[in-house]
Amino acid sequence: MLRVGIDVGGTFTDLYAWDEEATASHKVRMAKVLSTPNDPVIGVMNALAEAGIHPSEIGTIIHGTTIGTNALLERKYPEPALIATAGFRDTIEIGRQKRSHLYDPYATKPSPLISRNRRFTVSEKMGSDGKTVKPVKREDAKQVAEQIAQLGIKNVAITFINSYVDGRHEKEMRDIILEVIPDAKIALSSETSPKMGELGRFVTTAIRASLFPIVENYISRLEKTLEDAGCTAPLFIVKSNGGMMRSAATKEHPEELIESGPAGGVAAGGLIHHLLDQKNLIITDVGGTSFEASLVEEGQGLVTDEYELEWEMPVITPMLDIRSIGAGGGSIAWIDDGGSLRVGPKSAGAAPGPACYGKGGTQPTVTDANLVLGRLNPTLSGKFQLDYEAAVNAISTVAEPLGLSVIECAEGIIDIVCENMADAIRMVSTDRGRDPRDQTYVSFGGAGGLHAYRVAQSAGINRILVPSFVGVDCATGASTMDVRHDVEETFYAPIEGLNPKDLTNAFDKLEEKCRHLLKSDGITSQKMSFERIALMRYVGQSYQVATPVPNGSINQNTLLEIASTFNKEHKREYGVANENFPVAFVTLRMTGYGKTEKPKASDLKIASGSGIQKGTSSIKEQRETYFNGEKHIVDVHDVSLLSNEQEIDGPAIIEHSNSEIVIPPNALAVFDQYGFTHITVDKTINQSNKEVMQ
């Protein structure tokens, strides 16, 4: 049976599948088709058909989707109601009253997720000690429920102050709503994210309530379509934390899908770590509309608790630290009011797409620039014929006002978008205390190999790795994912004076919740593993640092070890630490993993020479290509004809079925046993790449 990963992006829908029972030569199947924004389910089925997979062949299907993120950013969802404690109606709109641009007098905040006329209050209050200060008045609560019913609203967020300590008031309010609106879908902040800090808790709960109908409708339609086509396999959905969960759980926890798509790429980084034992990786993904960057250390993506959907909209569920900017193949080039060339963030997307797609697009994009420069296959590896003249005409619309030739303007477009991508790499690395020069740049995405060299060069990275699954990386990573659940609760307690048994008991309760979630996803006890994390801070601080906590019973010596670990983590993140400052626990997190099948390294290896007869050249054609304003006639290599340890001097192009890798002058590429391409930015330093391959 096939294990299938499918990722639906803004422009393309990708598929990667491997058969656990087949021989290596027939193990992997890949497909890349245009996304269908009006109904992503069609794109999923098209990808299966393109890969020659009948739904009845599927043993497990794992799906990454941007449907939740897109709905939130575009505000395209049935707007819910929000019920807050009296006095806190406008918390999600007021935010922290910080400015995104300190000196911009015209800066405006994004519109709130829920309009003010759909936000209600009830007079109640829970104390910070979990004791009722003011009970919920049933008459007032029922009146609010009736107002919501009159508006025809079916999805509701309940966000009471201090409910992270005890959620019984929120549960009382939920019961009253269900009396009035029996089919209402209700999100409680005490269940969504029971953590201190009302803004993050309120916003996260509002997101859950907003996405209930969108995600449930999409997942249900996908389940039905697959079932009608003969698929009996369980459907899993990729989560923002780098794991996956069953589709039934997804409908109850839609806020965990915000980074569902890009998370697959981080999982693919874990696969690379497993194969090559590379510890420090910067994972990048260049798609049609965006560029994502993240770090993978020891095979695990870094997790953040400080993600913001938009300015002043914190999401406080554990999420992979993925930085995303509007820079991709469809990014549109334009001239600002000062007469400077800009690229993105606006994108041509899948419809109409770049001008060269011949689907009605007329604005110049990054893809058009790559085609004009000769770096892109004019047939997109046989998918369809690109319109070269349309690309030239589109770029001329910005080249002429700037007094540039089409070639000069096209190179300028590539340089600008690559600098934007390099800035994202600096954010994700230096912001977390990591030096990008210590990393290996891993290039993913259909357009990743076109820009990898230029981006890495700008970021000061010398080692580039382009995997064989470069064009379908998120789908590849999805197919290797474990089930993962994170369960959290507030546990504020300074280490000094803490009874270790209280900490042990708190973690034990969280582990039981994790076990229940894993079991509901079909994971047996033998395949479960658990990891403890404490979000800690120096007493008086307003931010936390994630600190590993050992499993098992905790004693006084363990507390000292935890404090020491916190100091080390704080120093790594922020460059400073002080062992004399008192340390406190703030939030406890239990992460439960359900181990799944993984492709074997031996099955992913290619035979030396890829089975090609000795003496066969990997060069399929030559192409006129421009670098730094100079024309070059470069060799185009067919990746399927490359052999293990084969070296390719730039300038050259390596062509995959779903992408192309540009090797500029003075660069060196080496092909390895897994079909991965290793590029040395400075080819005088080649020994490190050879050591990695061995």
Does residue 485 carry a pLDDT above 80?
A: yes
- Residues whose CB is less than 8 angstroms from the CB of residue 540 and which lie 6 or more positions away in sequence, other chains included: none
Residue spans of beta strands (DSSP E) within 595-629: 619-627
Q: Which of 612, 462, 594 is nearest to 523 (CA)?
A: 594
> What CA–CA distance (Å, rounded) separates 528 from 516?
11
Distances from the Cα of 72 to the Cαs of 203, 310, 359, in angstroms?
Answer: 12, 10, 27
Rounded to an integer, the average pLDDT of 171-178 is 98
Distances from the Cα of 508 to the Cαs of 84, 444, 501, 670, in angstroms?
Answer: 32, 39, 10, 49
Distances from the Cα of 173 to the Cαs of 77, 164, 575, in angstroms?
Answer: 24, 15, 46
Range scoring the smallest mean pLDDT among 44-58, 213-227, 590-604: 590-604
* Banded pLDDT at 25 (limits 50, 70, 90): very low
692 against 444, higher pLDDT: 444
SS3 content of the chain, % helix, strand, coil (to 5): 35, 25, 35
406-430 and 448-459 are packed helices; what angle lies between their axes, rounded to 10 degrees?
60
* Banded pLDDT at 663 (limits 50, 70, 90): very high
Does residue 514 carry a pLDDT above 60?
A: yes
Distances from the Cα of 497 to the Cαs of 309, 563, 582, 640, in angstroms?
Answer: 38, 13, 11, 64
* Predicted pLDDT of residue 102: 81
> What CA–CA distance (Å, rounded) separates 130 from 202?
18
Range scoring the smallest mean pLDDT among 54-58, 330-334, 532-536, 688-692: 688-692
pTM, entire model:
0.88
345 against 350, higher pLDDT: 345
Q: Considering the chain, what is the average pLDDT of its residues?
A: 91
* Predicted pLDDT of residue 691: 52
Query: pLDDT for 571-621, tens place per residue?
Result: 988 889 999 999 999 999 999 999 998 887 776 776 444 444 455 789 999
* Banded pLDDT at 98 (limits 50, 70, 90): confident
Q: Which of 256, 139, 231 is nearest to 517 (CA)?
A: 256
Pairing of strands 235-238, 125-126: unpaired
Query: pLDDT for 348-363, tens place per residue?
Result: 877 788 999 998 999 9
Distances from the Cα of 249 to the Cαs of 307, 309, 350, 519, in angstroms?
Answer: 22, 22, 30, 12
Q: For residue 132, what are the β-bridge partners?
A: 126
DSSP secondary structure of 337-384:
TTS-EEEEEEE-TTTT--GGGTSS--S-BHHHHHHHTT-S-TTTTTT-
What burial letters (b/e) apply to 269-288, b meaning 16+ CB within 10 Å?
bbbbbebbebebbbbbbbbb
Q: Which of 501, 494, 597, 477 is nearest to 539 (CA)?
A: 494
* Predicted pLDDT of residue 542: 87
Distances from the Cα of 45 to the Cαs of 132, 221, 241, 627, 637, in angstroms?
Answer: 53, 12, 26, 40, 32
Q: Which of 303, 612, 652, 644 is nearest to 484 (CA)?
A: 303
Rounded to an integer, the average pLDDT of 552-571 is 96
Greatest Cα pair distance in the chain: 86
Does residue 60 carry a pLDDT above 80?
A: yes
Structure tokens at 398: 């910005």
> What CA–CA distance (Å, rounded) separates 442 from 463?
9
